[in-house]
């Protein structure tokens, strides 16, 4: 069985349906205007019956012709209504697009702010977790062991402490001015009495370049001992 629905009508959008409704209404109005008799032909004559006389064919034709201006006015109104409906639809679509764009920009700004906040929080937590070592022999050894662990340099607290006491008695500014190295013009310096060429060769990146710096001196010396003896723990005399 065929559907009584007009083909394609269901696929019309709101703007097209509104325009067609306006055209239909104006068409009815135009037809009504054209059928209303003009002049005296449509009124009851004096002394005649109170009922109006039916319009003749010539009157209808005449009204259709003379009322063409009315039809043109109606069509103009229809065109204006159609333009208004389309303009409103376009404005509504533009507003929706602008709203969507603003929403997307807001979402991006929010995401950036959240990313910055997360990075700041992570940095703060990292700073809180970073240990603070005391500025003494115990702190220097512990900080050195932390750096050595990151770089895979072996050595223990006891092994480092034992060699420091033997070499410098724990004085980071100690310098040997009487051994063979001193006679050769390159005296041993620092906690673990390292000569400058050895310190430079085994210096660990990220530590101070000052040979008298306690942590830099310990780490460089342990790096050298690991290369020559396997570990500072294996050193029990001058090395």
* SS3 of residue 194 by DSSP: strand
**pLDDT band for position 80 (cuts 50, 70, 90):** confident
CA 235 to chain centre: 56
Q: DSSP H helical segments within the chain, as ranges? A: 14-35, 57-66, 68-129, 137-151, 157-168, 180-183, 196-202, 214-229
pLDDT of residue 37 exceeding 50: no
Asked if 155 and 225 touch (Cβ cutoff 8 Å), the reply is: yes
Band of the pLDDT at 76, cuts 50, 70, 90? confident
Q: Which two tokens stand for residue 44?
A: 């009851």
pLDDT tens for residues 133-151?
Answer: 999 999 999 999 999 999 9
> In the predicted model, what is the mean pLDDT of residues 81-92?
81
- C-beta neighbour count of 223 within 10 angstroms: 24
Q: Full-prediction pTM beyond 0.85?
A: no
The per-residue pLDDT for 2 is 39
Residue of 207, 81, 98, 111 lying closest to 153 (CA atoms)? 207
| pLDDT band at 71; cut points 50, 70, 90 | confident
The pLDDT assigned to 238 comes to 82
Q: Which of 31, 90, 15 is nearest to 64 (CA)?
A: 31
Question: In this predicted structure, what is the pLDDT of residue 88?
Answer: 81
Q: What's residue 16's pLDDT?
A: 52
User: What are the residue ranges spanned by the domains of the chain?
Assistant: 13-37+54-108, 137-234
CB 232 within 8 A of CB 165: no
Would you state the pLDDT for residue 41?
Answer: 41
What is the per-residue burial (b if ≥16 Cβ within 10 Å, else e) of 187-204? bbbbbbbbbeebbeebbb
**pLDDT for 129 beyond 90:** no
What confidence tier does 1 reach under pLDDT thresholds 50, 70, 90?
very low
| Cα 139 off chain centre by | 43
20: confidence class by pLDDT, cuts 50, 70, 90: low
123 phi and psi angles, rounded to 5 deg: -65, -40
Instruction: Count the Cβ atoms, other than its own, within 10 Å of residue 37.
Output: 17
Q: What are the tokens at 206?
A: 């990220």
Mean pLDDT over each residue of the chain, to the nearest integer: 79
- Which run of H or of E encompasses 130? none
């Amino acid at each position: 069985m065929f559907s009584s629905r007009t083909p394609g009508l269901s696929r019309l959008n709101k703007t097209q349906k509104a325009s067609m409704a306006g055209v239909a209404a104006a068409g009815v109005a135009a037809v009504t205007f054209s059928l209303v008799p003009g002049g005296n032909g449509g009124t009851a004559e004096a002394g005649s019956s109170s009922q109006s006389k039916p319009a003749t064919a010539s009157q209808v034709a005449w009204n259709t012709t003379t009322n063409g201006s009315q039809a043109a006015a109606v069509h103009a109104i229809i065109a204006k209504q159609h333009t208004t409906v389309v303009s409103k639809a376009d404005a509504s679509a533009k507003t929706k697009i602008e709203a969507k764009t603003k929403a997307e920009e807001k979402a991006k700004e929010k995401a950036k702010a959240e990313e910055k906040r997360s990075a700041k929080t992570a940095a703060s937590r990292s700073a809180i977790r970073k240990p603070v070592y005391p500025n003494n022999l115990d702190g220097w050894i512990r900080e050195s062991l932390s750096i050595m662990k990151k770089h895979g340099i072996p050595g223990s607290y006891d092994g480092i402490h034992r060699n420091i006491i033997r070499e410098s008695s724990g004085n980071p500014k100690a310098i040997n001015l009487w051994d063979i190295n001193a006679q050769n013009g390159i005296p041993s310096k620092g906690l673990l009495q390292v000569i400058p060429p050895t310190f430079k060769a085994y210096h660990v990146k990220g530590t101070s370049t000052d040979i008298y710096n306690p942590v830099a001196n310990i780490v460089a010396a342990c790096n050298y001992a690991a290369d020559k003896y396997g570990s500072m723990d294996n050193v029990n005399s001058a090395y």
